[in-house]
Amino acid sequence: MQKLTQIKTQLLSMHAEAVLRQLHEFHFADPVHVYIKNEKYLLMASNNYLGLTHHPAVKAAAAAAIEEYGTGSGGSRLTSGNHPLYGRLEKDIAQFKQTEAALIFNSGYMSNIGTISALANTAADVIFSDALNHASIIDGCRLARAKTVIYPHSNMAALADLLQNIPCSGQRFIITDGVFSMDGDIACLDKIVYLAEKYDGFVIVDDAHATGVIGSGGRGSAAYYGLNGRVSLELGTLSKALASEGGFAAGSQLVIDYLINKARSFIFSTALSPATLAAASAALQILLTEPYRVEKLAVKAAIMKDELRLAGVPLLKSETPILPILIGTASQAMDFAEKLYAEKLIVSAIRPPTVPVGSSRLRLTITGAHSVADIDKASDLIIHTAIKMGLVKPFAR
């Protein structure tokens, strides 16, 4: 069969180019340690930013929800799946984000594709999207009927020029990540909002990697810049700092009501399980009552950054717990990651198409559950390996 032959050829080519992806099974001992074939590894590749996946209150809430509501929802939210935990969590998210309302989706990916395709729904609309936006934003733009214009990463002069000169007889949308997942930098949201107000733009920010990480109390990029009430729609996820699964949109009641009726990824999905929502709700309550966790996370990330930069490790400019180490080729990045794996340290080797050719990297993530000893151990292994691979000079440290 021709298609199967093509698939086989593509897989062989991907393997030769060191970009073939495979699944690996992890048995979590705690938020930052996993067992693989009975061997214990230190994990620095998780987006569990606050380390709450194993928190007793989060686990207890999930277990209690199963006892009360059962294991599954049994239908979409517009049929039989809208159990009481949904309304409670959406109310809490809206209060947390300081918006009128919120709507939960089944994942952050589904939040983006459903929201963007529902809102940017005419050929008269124009989407202005950052060049380094997440794949879920890119796919949302592809599904939308609007024209999509890509602006250079965080280049506000270029964005201003495009807003001024690209004809638009409908609605202008400016869409950006709050924190960029592969670089760790923060969007220039204050300047984006200024341009949106100047050119009547509708701002959508995806705070998947910002919620629980930046801004007052971990409220995300709008709070980071003091823009509460000026961002049209804030998207996010329950699967990273909030230690569960799912996504959300937070904004005006008008927009949320519209998404309930028009966002296809919301309408045609079976509702999340009660345990999933209960875990996210418990994690959010911990964040609300213990906001110091956000600052502690930033301090731990700073320790790792300082140790790596002092040694001359090619760390990209990151303002968050996402630490990208620029390597170059996909094969070099895989080789580096495999050497660390042999030392029982797990990091992610990020390769094309996730990042451009020639910019393959290691992506480290620091979490609230990492100890200073964990950070010191990991930095020593990374520096030692970088020296062995010729990426860092021995005397640079």
Residue 18, pLDDT score: 87
Mean pLDDT of 137-151: 98
For residue 397, is pLDDT > 90?
Answer: no
Mean pLDDT of 318-339: 96
**Are 102 and 242 within 8 A, CB to CB?**
no
**Are 190 and 225 within 8 A, CB to CB?**
yes
For residue 396, is pLDDT > 50?
Answer: no
pLDDT single digits (tens) 176-192: 999 999 999 999 999 99
H helical segments located in 120-199: 135-143, 156-165, 189-199
- What is the DSSP-derived secondary structure letter of residue 186? B
Counting residues of the chain whose pLDDT is more than 90, the rounded percentage is 96
Q: What is the mean pLDDT of the chain?
A: 96
- In sign, the C-alpha dihedral spanning 201, 204, 209, 210 is positive
What would you measure as the largest C-alpha separation in the chain, in angstroms? 65
pLDDT band at 126 (very low <50, low <70, confident <90, very high): very high
**Are 266 and 114 within 8 A, CB to CB?**
yes
pLDDT single digits (tens) 265-309: 999 999 999 999 999 999 999 999 999 999 999 999 999 999 999
For residue 254, is pLDDT > 60?
Answer: yes
pTM of the entire structure? 0.95
pLDDT single digits (tens) 30-89: 999 999 999 999 999 999 999 999 999 999 999 999 999 999 999 999 999 999 999 999
Mean pLDDT of 316-330: 95
For residue 213, is pLDDT > 60?
Answer: yes
Residue 352, pLDDT score: 93
